[in-house]
Amino acid sequence: MKKAISIILIACSSCASYNYVSYKSNLKKCISNLEKIEEWIHYDIEQGKVDPIIAEDYMTAITHTKISLMEKYKK
């Protein structure tokens, strides 16, 4: 899963200068970061920088990670 997140961050690096990503170990901040990455992926799709099929794989990894973090946050 760490590899998938790393790939997502690299793929979205073109948008990194437009947004702030938090580097805290807080679960809410982690979830917020994943939502920001989702925005970057959508932006990259619109700009034609990412193949939509590959982006779908990234989004699946993000969604599953986000759900896991949300479940852990509720506990």
Q: How confident is the model at residue 16 (pLDDT cuts 50, 70, 90)?
A: very low
Chain segment 60-73, per-residue pLDDT in tens? 999 999 999 888 87
Which token pair is 25? 């170990």
Distance CA(56)–CA(42), nearest Å, equals 10
Output the pLDDT for position 27. Answer: 84
Output the pLDDT for position 14. Answer: 46
- Write down the mean pLDDT value for the chain: 79
Confidence (pTM): 0.64
Distance CA(27)–CA(18), nearest Å, equals 23
Longest Cα–Cα distance of the chain, Å, equals: 40
Mean predicted confidence (pLDDT) in 33-54: 94
Which token pair is 64? 């599953």
Distance CA(55)–CA(4), nearest Å, equals 11
Domain spans, the chain: 2-12+24-74
